[in-house]
Structure 1
Amino acid sequence: MPTPDPLVAPLMAPLKGHHALVTGAGSGIGAAIARTLAAAGARVTLAGRRLEPLETLAAEIGAGVHVRDGFDVTRPAAIAVGLEAARAAFGPVSILVNNAGEAPSAPFEKTTGEMWAQVIGVDLTGVFNVTQAVLPDLKARGEGARIVNVASTAGLTGYAYVSAYCAAKHGVIGLTRALALELAKKGVTVNAVCPGFTDTPIIRRAIATIVEKTGRSADEALAEFTTSNPQGRLVQPQEVADTVLWLASPGAASVTGQAIAVAGGEIMAG
């Protein structure tokens, strides 16, 4: 077998030597991110609440992954246990991807206090909880350490019927920007990726609900989610994952405090 060219090897495995922790890794965007980081050479902890999808993904990826179920981002004790196991498997975390989230829909006047607290708890406080737990690892690593928060275009604009989700994702972007400034001199970058409507199980369930409740066709229901995208389509999970990979790579060392829309031109930051 030929000896790898030392100039080419970093390009083939730009994240070799990193331990990435991905929350909400079991499906959709989280699964795509986990696959992509693993393919780039990182050892990846797949964190989530349910074991079965994590094990399925781990079997698909193969070596270099650690499964951690019961990883409830709203419970600091569960995070601490999961993080201890992840460190035992792969050492300190050097790339954190906060992806866990949920997006129930309801008119504002029908948004209960319980729904509000749940969405804020998972989508915003969960980011705080996990980041605070992992931060000592990231600061110890310094140069090359990364935090990537999966936010949403809902953190950059407003959408009807998801007020709690919009509030939470705006909060994630604010937290991203504040923490980026705190950690800039440590060499740790902090960024947010903001997908538009993405082809995930959540969207497919929403389309099925629209068809069931309105009698519209699946194509008509899909149009509800694609009309806001100038490209006229859903974002693909891999497109989000590729953006996360770039932010995690050495070439993005000077990019921090940014909220990058992956939305086909729906949102244009200026």
Structure 2
Amino acid sequence: MSAAPDQALAGRHALVTGGARGIGLACAKALLARGAKVTLLGRGRESLQAAQAELIASESTAPGRVGFVSADIADMASVQAAFEHAAQQSGPVHILVNNAGQAASQPFARTDARLWRDMMAVNLDGTFHCMQAALPDMLAAGWGRIINVASTAGLIGYAYVSAYVAAKHGVIGLTRSVALEVASKGVTVNAVCPGYTETDIVRDAVANIVRKTGMSEDQARAKLAERNPQGRLVQPDEVADAVAWLALPSAASVNGQAIPVDGGEVMAG
């Protein structure tokens, strides 16, 4: 008999990068609700502590089920050390949610090597580093879930964010390639691709539009929401529910997929 939905991940350890806010924090809540232990990974210790406290309070979760580790995902040595610390706290990582990311807007002609490298380092290199750190224990256990939070930018093009778009396309290519390598070993690798979502990245995009166009904040938000056929911004919880579903044992046959959570944006495009 399968476990009840709210305990389907009992005994599993999930690590969520960028877990202190936005989609990452929503993913942590969704995984905790399904019985997993969760480690939040990020750069800022204070924000991680605040997120840990929020999860313990809001989810009525035992303190031992939520931990955190600080790391710079662009640095392989930092990632390896963080994963070792997480394993000491809560055991080997069974579920990896690669959520940490950044987006910078600039016309291609003004996209310099520094901006290009920064977008690759966080969005693509960071995903690579965390996957390499997590996979050995998953393969040894014969069970694992890797869920990369990419973007609709990894499926289609967006103007003025060419470096970000290229990095997210890379994440989806990496997802598909590794999924084939581990398909027979009990590990699945998938990507979730949100459209414009109510997060810090979108708030920064709104501020940028306001600064460059003179639009009001409401007008700028409406402009972004226009891309979604539902006429709204995606909510972090909606992305988190897709991530949590991919982590379930019952999603074992879903592998190598890039699933849009976008109200139909990609299909409409």
Shared fold by TM > 0.5?
A: yes
Query: Counterparts of 1:27-176 in structure 2 under 5 Å?
Result: 27-62=21-56, 63=63, 64-69=65-70, 71-143=71-143, 145-176=144-175
The whole-number CA distance in structure 2 between the counterparts of 1:133 and 1:56 is 26
Confirm whether residue 21 of structure 1 aligns to residue 10 of structure 2: no
Q: What percentage of aligned pairs have identical amino acids?
A: 57
Name the structure 2 match of 1:259: 258
Name the structure 1 match of 2:231: 232
The whole-number CA distance in structure 1 between the counterparts of 2:195 and 2:246 is 18
The whole-number CA distance in structure 2 between the counterparts of 1:165 and 1:205 is 14
Structure 1 position 9, deviation (Å) = 5.1
The normalised TM-score by structure 1 is 0.93
The normalised TM-score by structure 2 is 0.94
The whole-number CA distance in structure 1 between the counterparts of 2:109 and 2:78 is 33
Counterpart of 1:30, as a letter, is G
| Alignment CA distance shift 1:77-1:189 (3 Å) | same
Contact 1:87/1:93, CA 8 A, preserved across alignment: yes
1:159 aligned counterpart, secondary structure:
coil
Q: What whole-Å deviation, never above 9, does each CA across 1:134-193 have from its counterpart, x for those lacking one?
A: 1111111213x1000000000000000000011001111011011111000001000000
Contact 1:261/1:268, CA 8 A, preserved across alignment: no
1:185 aligned counterpart, secondary structure:
coil
Aligned length: 261
2:197 aligned counterpart, secondary structure:
coil
Contact 2:2/2:8, CA 8 A, preserved across alignment: no
Structure 2 gaps, min length 5: 57-62
| Alignment CA distance shift 1:8-1:188 (3 Å) | closer
Structure 1 gaps, min length 5: 1-6
Query: Counterparts of 1:183-262 in structure 2 under 5 Å?
Result: 183-262=182-261
Counterpart of 2:66, as a letter, is V
1:44 aligned counterpart, secondary structure:
strand
